[in-house]
Amino acid sequence: MPLQALRTVAKPQNGVGAFILQCKRIDLHYCDWAGSSKGMNDFLRTTLPAFAKQNPSIELSVSPRPGRHPVIKGLYINGRQKAICVRNMESGEILRKVELLKAASGERLRRERRPVKSANESVRGVWDPFHGHKYRI
């Protein structure tokens, strides 16, 4: 047989064509009794409906967690979760935290050592001693 083919799977490039927001769900837990949840209750009443309208791709779930500090949890497409306790925060701060969850990718926070990641080889090629001028004494 002159030619055979090897099967593989094409790799995704999120954002090149369609962009899929990685945050798919945010759970918001509040408490009616605890004082630490005052800001959270205000947030739920005033700011959350507008946020939900602006971000239709995030599934929002609001549920009480009595006797506990308020907490917001983000669930991401890679299956990981991020939780932020928003005790004693004001409505504006909580909105910033929710935006932080929305903008996250779900991956662990890690220090990136290589500045550029690419699936393509370098354009001008890596130097090798076999092509180009040879060093002569």
Partner 1 sequence: MKRIRLDRWATQIQPPRNPRLHLPPFSSETRAPRRELQQRQYQIQHQWQHQRRHAVTRRKASSAAAAQLEEAESAAPIPLDTSQDGDGAASPPQPQYAPSHRRAAQSAKLSALHARLALPSKLPLQTLARCLIDPSADPRPGYNNAPFALLGQDLLGYYTSEYLMCHYPRLPMPVLFAAQYAYVGSATLGAMRAEWGVEVVAAPGQEVDPGLLQLKRSVPGNAMLDGETRQLKDMPQARRLGSGRRNEEYNFRRGMSSRIVFDDQFGDLQSGLQPADAQPYPGAAISSPAADGAEAGSEQEQLALDTAASAPPPQPQSPEETHPTTVEQGSASFIRALAGALYLHAGSAASKTFHKDHVLSRQLPLHTLFHFTHPTRDLSRLCAREGFEPPVARLISETGRLSRTPVFVVGVYSGDDKLGEGAGSSLNEGRVRAAAAALRSWYLYSPPDSEVVLPSEVEGAAGTGRSKKQWKPQMVDIGEVIT
Binding site for partner 1 (CB under 8 A): 1-14, 16-18, 20-21, 24-25, 56-61, 77, 119, 129-131
Rounded least distance, CB 136 to partner 1, Å: 14
**Strand (E) or helix (H) holding 16:** none
Rounded least distance, CB 118 to partner 1, Å: 11
Residue 23 or 89 having the CB closest to partner 1: 23
Nearest in space to 28 (alpha carbons), one of 74, 92, 82? 74
Between vectors from CA 49 to CA 58 and to CA 35, what angle results, nearest 5°?
105
Nearest in space to 57 (alpha carbons), one of 28, 34, 26? 26
Query: What pairs with residue 74 in β-bridges?
Result: 26, 82
Rounded least distance, CB 111 to partner 1, Å: 26
